[in-house]
C-alpha cells in the first residue's frame, strides 16, 4: 500500500538526474508491494538524430501522464502542448518518431512493469496484441482555457475544473483511495490544507476530496488507487 502524503509542494523537491543527464525525476509516491509509482519526469532537449527519434516500444504495464510543457511528440503525428493528457494501455506502441526540441516536464503515473520493449513498428497503432478499442489509448488536449474535458471511460484518472469563488463546499467522491495533482489554481480543503499549482497528495485511506473554498480557477487530476486483486 502507498504511504499517505497529505500535501507536498512539488516545486520544493529536488530533481534527480540520470547518469547520462538526459532525464530527471521527482519521485512522489511508490507502492512497495508493486512497481507502481507516480513521478514528475523531466527530459532535456534532444537532438533530432535517427537513433534518438526512432524509439518505437511498448510496455507490459500502463502509463498515463499530463504534460506540463514545453510541446513535444512521441510519434510526430500528434504534438502534445502543455496540459495534454495521455493514457497508454499495456502493449500500446509509441515512440516511433520522438521529437523533444525544448525538453518537457510531465506528471507521470505507471502501473506494472514499464521497462521498454523495443519494436520495429513505424506507427503508434501497430500493436498487434491489442484489441482495436485500446489503440492508441486516450490522448486529450486540455489546452489553456482552464476547462477540464471528460476523459474516455477507460482512462484511469479524471480531470476536474473548479470555478473561482464557489460559495458552496464541493465534494469529489472517488470511492477508494486516490492521488491528487493540482495542474493550476488554488483551493482550500475542509480540513484547512491549501493546495496551489503543482501541489500533490496521496490519500490511500480517504475516499472523498472536500473542497471548502476555491481561491483561483483550478484544474486538478484525481487518480484512484485501486486495490490489487
Residue 184 in any domain: the answer is no
Residue 130 confidence (pLDDT):
37
Residue 164 confidence (pLDDT):
83
Q: What is the pLDDT of residues 153-194, one digit of tens each?
A: 667 888 888 888 666 788 999 999 999 999 999 999 999 999
Greater pLDDT, 62 or 123: 62
Residue 168 in any domain: the answer is no
Residue 18 in any domain: the answer is yes
SS3 58: strand
CATH of the domain at 128: 2.60.120.10
Residue 79 confidence (pLDDT):
87
Question: In terms of pTM, does the model score above 0.85?
Answer: yes
Beta carbons within 8 Å of 127's beta carbon, 6+ residues apart: 58, 91, 92, 93, 121, 135, 136
Residue 68 in any domain: the answer is yes
Residue 179 in any domain: the answer is no
Residue 67 in any domain: the answer is yes
Domain count, the chain: 1
Residue 220 in any domain: the answer is no
- 173-192 burial string, b = 16+ CB within 10 Å, else e? ebeebbbbbbbbbbbebeee
Residue 206 in any domain: the answer is no
**Structural domain boundaries, residue 34:** 13-141
Q: What is the band of 151 on the pLDDT scale with cuts at 50, 70, 90?
A: low
Please tell me the least confidently modeled range out of 37-41, 55-59, 164-168, 169-173: 164-168
- Quote the cell numbers at residue 49: 538524430
Q: What is the pLDDT of residues 129-149, one digit of tens each?
A: 433 333 444 455 544 434 455
Q: What is the pLDDT of residues 74-131, one digit of tens each?
A: 888 788 888 888 888 888 888 888 899 999 999 999 999 999 988 875 544 444 343 3
Amino acid at each position: 500500500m502507498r504511504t499517505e502524503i497529505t500535501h507536498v509542494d512539488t516545486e520544493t523537491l529536488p530533481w534527480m538526474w540520470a547518469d547520462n543527464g538526459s532525464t530527471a525525476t521527482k519521485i512522489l509516491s511508490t507502492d512497495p508491494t508493486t512497481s507502481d509509482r507516480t513521478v514528475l519526469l523531466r527530459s532535456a532537449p534532444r537532438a533530432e538524430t535517427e537513433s534518438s527519434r526512432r524509439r518505437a516500444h511498448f510496455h507490459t504495464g500502463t502509463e498515463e501522464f499530463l504534460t506540463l510543457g514545453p510541446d513535444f511528440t512521441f510519434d510526430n503525428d500528434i504534438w502534445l502542448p502543455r496540459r495534454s493528457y495521455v493514457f497508454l494501455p499495456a502493449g500500446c506502441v509509441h515512440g516511433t518518431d520522438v521529437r523533444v526540441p525544448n525538453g518537457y516536464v510531465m506528471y507521470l503515473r505507471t502501473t506494472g512493469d514499464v521497462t521498454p520493449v523495443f519494436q520495429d513498428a513505424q506507427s503508434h497503432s501497430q500493436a498487434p496484441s491489442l484489441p482495436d478499442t485500446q489503440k492508441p489509448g486516450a490522448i486529450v488536449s486540455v489546452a489553456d482555457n482552464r476547462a477540464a474535458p471528460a476523459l474516455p471511460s477507460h482512462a484511469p484518472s479524471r480531470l476536474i475544473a473548479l470555478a473561482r469563488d464557489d460559495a458552496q463546499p464541493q465534494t469529489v467522491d472517488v470511492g477508494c483511495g486516490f492521488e491528487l495533482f493540482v495542474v493550476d489554481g488554488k483551493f482550500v480543503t475542509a480540513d484547512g490544507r491549501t493546495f496551489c499549482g503543482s501541489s500533490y497528495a496521496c490519500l490511500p485511506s480517504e475516499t472523498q476530496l472536500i473542497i471548502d473554498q476555491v481561491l483561483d480557477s483550478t484544474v486538478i487530476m484525481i487518480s484512484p488507487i485501486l486495490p490489487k486483486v
